[in-house]
């Protein structure tokens, strides 16, 4: 058989040196290798991990919530219109991030008088809570509470002593979902959690015409977003642990749902 010593090239691996008629050149170390050693792993390429002219990304890397001990991040800044600081969606409400610009007259008060003042300020727009139905709402809530505790969903980490169980009726449907919330939460935060858990579109943080709001199912009364659940439970609104509430998209001038059946 004729030999062609001047055709092809030898593999650069010391233990190989095979003459290959179709040699491969490594784009890392730029040496010549045979078919068996053509890959970087095959010849332990000395430049396989070297990056030429690495460019560090200098753009925005997300916005961390400015509330102490919260490490949640958002792709876009969620600014508080009062203190102009950026928070995550869970802490965007003034009370939830303890806003330094929060008016003392609006801060949470553990008295029924605070709720009464809010409701009275809407006179002419909101009718007084009326009991609709033959059942006592407080007694009905106690009965419903036993069932709700069996399959309610909620945020992990809420102390048992803070849990308030509610049956949430989803927008434009007769579907109810059992959930539990912390009594320390504002109604605004409850709306965000309920919408996220039930997969309901939440446009409250946009300029949409309609916003998600919570209403008491028995009376149709609006629950103010800036007030804590604990305050409402201690007030004159017929809301109890085990009550039913209605989650609905409404315009800003809607302060009471009168036709609960529709």
Q: Which helix (H) or strand (E) holds 181?
A: strand 176-182
- 40 and 89 within one domain: no
Question: 61-98: per-residue pLDDT in tens?
Answer: 678 899 888 888 888 888 988 888 999 988 888 888 88
Tell the residue number behind the tokens 């209403």, with chain if given. 215
Q: Let me know whether 16 and 85 are in one domain.
A: no
Q: Are residues 147 and 239 in the same domain?
A: yes
Name which of 34-48, 169-183, 208-222 the model is least confident about: 34-48
Strands 211-216 and 244-250: antiparallel
Q: Which residue has the higher pLDDT, 26 or 121?
A: 26
175 and 237 share a domain? Answer: yes
Q: What global pTM score does this model have? A: 0.53
- Phi, psi for residue 139 in degrees, rounded to 5: -70, -40
Contact 203, 212 (CB under 8 A): yes
Q: Does residue 224 share a domain with residue 143?
A: yes
CATH of the domain at 193: 3.10.20.90
Find tokens 């605004």 and name the residue: 188
pLDDT in tens, 51-60: 455 555 555 6
Looking up residue 88, the CATH number of its domain turns out to be 4.10.1110.10
Q: In this structure, are residues 247 and 170 in contact, taking their beta carbons and an 8 Å threshold?
A: yes
Number of domains making up the chain: 3
Q: Are residues 164 and 101 in the same domain?
A: no
Identify whether residues 38 and 162 lie together within a single domain.
no
Shared-domain flag, residues 244 and 117: yes
Q: Is residue 259 part of a domain?
A: no
SS3 32: strand
How far apart CA 83 and CA 174 sit, in angstroms, is 39
The torsion angles phi and psi of 137, rounded to 5 degrees, stand at: -60, -35
Task: Flag whether 261 is in a domain.
Answer: no
Domain for residue 55, yes or no?
no
One-character DSSP codes across 33-53 = E-GGG-STTTTT-TTTT--SS
- Domain membership of residue 257 (yes or no) is no
pLDDT, one tens digit per residue, over 233-257 is 888 788 999 999 999 999 988 888 8
- Domain assignment of residue 155, yes or no: yes
Of 104-108, 229-233, 249-253, least confident by mean pLDDT is 104-108
Give the structural domain span for 175. Answer: 112-127+135-250
| CA 138 to chain CA mean position, Å | 32
Residues 6+ apart with CB under 8 A from 123: none
- Are both 118 and 92 inside the same structural domain? no
Domain-embedded: residue 209: yes
């Amino acid at each position: 058989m004729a030999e062609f010593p001047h055709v092809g090239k030898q593999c650069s691996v010391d233990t190989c040196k095979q003459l290959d008629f179709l040699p491969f050149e490594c784009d890392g170390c730029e040496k010549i290798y045979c078919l068996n050693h053509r890959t970087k792993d095959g010849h332990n390429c000395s430049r396989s991990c070297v990056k030429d002219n690495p460019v560090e990304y200098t753009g925005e890397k997300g916005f961390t919530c400015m509330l102490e001990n919260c490490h949640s991040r958002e792709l876009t800044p969620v600014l508080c219109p009062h203190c102009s600081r950026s928070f995550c969606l869970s802490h965007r409400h003034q009370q939830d991030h303890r806003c330094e610009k929060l008016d003392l007259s609006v801060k949470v008060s553990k008295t029924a008088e605070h709720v009464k003042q809010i409701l009275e300020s809407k006179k002419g727009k909101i009718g007084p809570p009326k009991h609709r139905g033959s059942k006592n709402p407080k007694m009905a809530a106690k009965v419903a509470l036993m069932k709700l505790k069996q399959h309610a969903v909620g945020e992990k980490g809420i102390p048992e002593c803070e849990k308030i169980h509610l049956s949430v009726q989803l927008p434009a449907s007769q579907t109810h979902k059992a959930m539990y919330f912390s009594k320390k939460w504002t109604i605004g935060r409850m709306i965000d959690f309920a919408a996220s858990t039930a997969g309901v579109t939440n446009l409250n943080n946009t300029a949409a015409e309609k916003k998600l709001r919570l209403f008491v199912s028995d009376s149709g009364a609006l629950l103010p977003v800036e007030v804590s659940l604990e305050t409402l439970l201690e007030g004159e609104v017929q809301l109890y642990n085990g009550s039913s509430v209605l989650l609905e998209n409404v315009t800003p001038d809607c302060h009471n749902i009168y036709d609960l059946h529709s």
